[in-house]
A and B are shown apart, each in its own frame.
Chain A
Amino acid sequence: MLALPVKKAFSLKKIFSFQHSVLPGFSLAMGYSLTYLSLIVLIPLAAVFLKSAELSFPEFWNTVTHPRILASLRLSFGASLLAAAINAVFGLNFAWVLVRYRFPGKKILDALIDLPFAMPTAVTGITLATLYARNGWFGRLLAPLGIEVSYTPLGVLVASVFIGLPFVVRTLQPVLEDMEIELEEAAACLGADRWQTFRKVIFPLLTPALLTGFALAFARAVGEYGSIVFIAGNMPMVSEIAPLMILTKLEQYDYAGATAIAVVMLVFSFVILLLINTLQARSWNKETRT
């Protein structure tokens, strides 16, 4: 090998400069990336906040606290939180089974976990709506039990669970794979039974990844439109989701109203994600300290 210049770690001293590198193309690549990022993402997103600033506060408040909008926000956030929680439980089960056990069909299961990620949302939407409709494959089984999924808030939940699943599984999988079995052996040697080992040793180690997966699944479900609108049935006050309300406002040419809802959604999701990130950082710190 050639003797190559050894790179020093990034230091605070050089906070406004980048380290010298023999590789070319930094200005070109960086300049292009920043320009493209600003044109496609940053400037357009700023437009949302500028537009919402055109509304006076009472107008903004009246738009957002309209009962129909409030109901849709409650449904969107409530169903997404619940779906993310369901996904956290089943996603943990999936990741555990995929990493620890051998069973027939494992390869296929592993590959298809990403299906909700790759499947176009409109396709998911019409498929779920058809499956859970009263004459659909699942709907027919559930109807005698008095459970209706399609065109109810329950449908919103089902669709949210579908789209969120891969996020939890894929964040947990690498962490479980990297976990040292010696820790569990030590716990067993010290007299812990399997359930105690799981609760006191494995679960705390998984918590940060679990929270990340939860946050990602939640964020995805809150904003989701295509997978949900078909199965939701969109009854005012009952099964309308917040993104649909934005679309409805736009169809009425109420741009300011649409923007107001968008801002509320953006801020809300941001706050919840921040909260979960803080929780995650805290549980991470606790983990490394002990």
Chain B
Amino acid sequence: MTGLATRQRLPPSSRASSRVTDEPPWVRALLIGIALCFFAIFLLIPLIAVFAEALKKGWDTYIASVSTPDSLSAIKLTLFVAAISVPLNLVFGIAAAWSISKFEFCGKRLLISLIDLPFSVSPVISGLIYVLIFGAQSQFGQALREHGFRVLYAAPGIVLATVFVTFPFVARELIPLMQAQGNDEEEAAVMLGANGFMTFFRVTLPNIKWGLMYGLILCNARAMGEFGAVSVVSGHIRGQTNTIPLHVEILYNEYNFAAAFAVASLLALLALLTLCVKSLVEYFRPENARRAAAGEH
């Protein structure tokens, strides 16, 4: 432990040398102990429990419950929804981050808070707003239905609700990152004769690729895992409008716990993958960008 401490280059403000700012050993042990207990009870054991419950009845049951026609159609719908909503929010995220971080204009702070808005709205309310617009009681919804276009209780509604709840992810990740990087490199590129797209793809993109990737994977994880908003707009039609989380709910409510956890474990794996990518991104990200993105949550 001490060898490790001396080998690593510690920042000048490190307390490695100063004794007065150390807590007594028992306080230290107590704090670490409390943190580890809380961590085990609230995070680690639930995570293990997902996989333990999923594999309770063995691999065969696991494979069988993941590959039923209903599960497969849920997986297909979820992939389809994510494949539409993630790119939409990617394009928006880049456009918003470009205009907010590279230009000065009035109302910038307001715009940033508006982009964050979907985070502070309950998922159920996110679903509700689309029910109000496209539902049976609204004229707009009725007009659409007369032309044979179903939004609610069909894939378009699920896509819309998913786009809403995953709306801020990419933009939020990119804005602080691009603000911290400033405009110098892009301005140099433009002065050397690059056009806008060349500037973006050759100069900006390589600088933001890690942050962009993290934003994307976070957006994707949420898009595939969204439950509240989607359950309001989907109508729970088995084999048609069931996404993976809704399928998990149905299996669970039918007391088919092994199958519910088997399907849920797919989503838990996705969550773990997301965390892995996050750790990787933080490892590769240069220090100044890390500082800039520190205030993101």
Contact = CB atoms under 8 A, between A and B. Distances in A.
Interface stretch (B40-48, B57-65, B142-150): B40-48
Contacts of A15: 106
A48 interface: yes
A113 B172 CA distance: 20
A120 B227 contact: yes
Contacts of A121: 123, 225-228, 245
Given A105-B36, A120-B267, A225-B123, A246 B50 contact: no
A22 B228 contact: no
A77 B100 CA distance: 34
A2 interface: yes
For B28, B221, B246, B267, the residue with the greatest tally of chain A CB atoms inside 10 Å of its CB is B267
B183 A21 contact: yes
A95 to B, nearest CB: 9
B205 interface: no
Interface in B23-70: 23-24, 27-28, 31-32, 34-36, 38-39, 41-47, 49-50, 53
A126 B264 contact: yes
A236 interface: no
Contacts, number: 315
A181 B13 contact: yes
B106 A16 contact: yes
A235 interface: no
Interface in B242-292: 244-246, 248-249, 252, 257, 260-261, 264, 267-268, 270-272, 274-276, 278-279, 291
B42 A7 contact: no
B108 to A, nearest CB: 8
Nearest to A168: B297
B103 A115 contact: no
A239 interface: no
B131 A26 contact: no
Contacts of A82: none
B27 to A, nearest CB: 8
B43 A113 contact: yes
Given A2-B188, A115-B47, A225-B228, A24 B18 contact: no
Contacts of B228: 121, 224-226, 243
A21 to B, nearest CB: 6
A74 B268 CA distance: 32
Q: DSSP majority for the A interface?
A: helix
B125 A47 contact: no
B15 A181 contact: yes
Interface string A87-106: 00010011011101111010
Contacts of A273: 120
A61 interface: no
A44 B229 CA distance: 13
A140 interface: no
Interface string B85-101: 00010011011101100
Given A93-B34, A115-B47, A23 B131 contact: no
Nearest to A170: B297
13 contacts: A5-B187, A22-B191, A101-B28, A115-B271, A120-B221, A123-B245, A137-B45, A138-B45, A171-B295, A173-B294, A246-B128, A255-B135, A262-B128
Interface of A: 1-2, 4-5, 7, 10, 14-19, 21-26, 28-30, 32-33, 36-37, 40-42, 44-45, 47-48, 51, 90, 93-94, 96-98, 100-103, 105, 109, 111-116, 118-128, 130-131, 137-138, 161-162, 165-167, 170-171, 173-174, 177, 180-182, 184-185, 188-189, 194, 197, 216, 219, 222-226, 230, 243-244, 246-247, 250, 253, 255, 258-259, 262, 265-266, 269, 273
The 9 A-B pairs of least Cβ separation, nearest first, read A120-B225, A223-B122, A225-B228, A174-B294, A18-B105, A226-B227, A188-B20, A24-B196, A243-B124
Given A14-B106, A24-B196, 16 more contacts: A18-B103, A23-B183, A33-B92, A36-B92, A37-B92, A37-B96, A48-B132, A90-B35, A120-B221, A121-B225, A122-B227, A126-B249, A130-B53, A216-B297, A243-B124, A258-B131
Interface of B: 1, 4-5, 13-15, 18, 20-21, 23-24, 27-28, 31-32, 34-36, 38-39, 41-47, 49-50, 53, 88, 91-92, 94-96, 98-99, 102-106, 111, 114-115, 117-125, 128-133, 135-137, 160, 163-164, 167, 183-184, 186-188, 190-191, 195-196, 199-200, 218, 221, 224-228, 231-232, 244-246, 248-249, 252, 257, 260-261, 264, 267-268, 270-272, 274-276, 278-279, 291, 294-295, 297
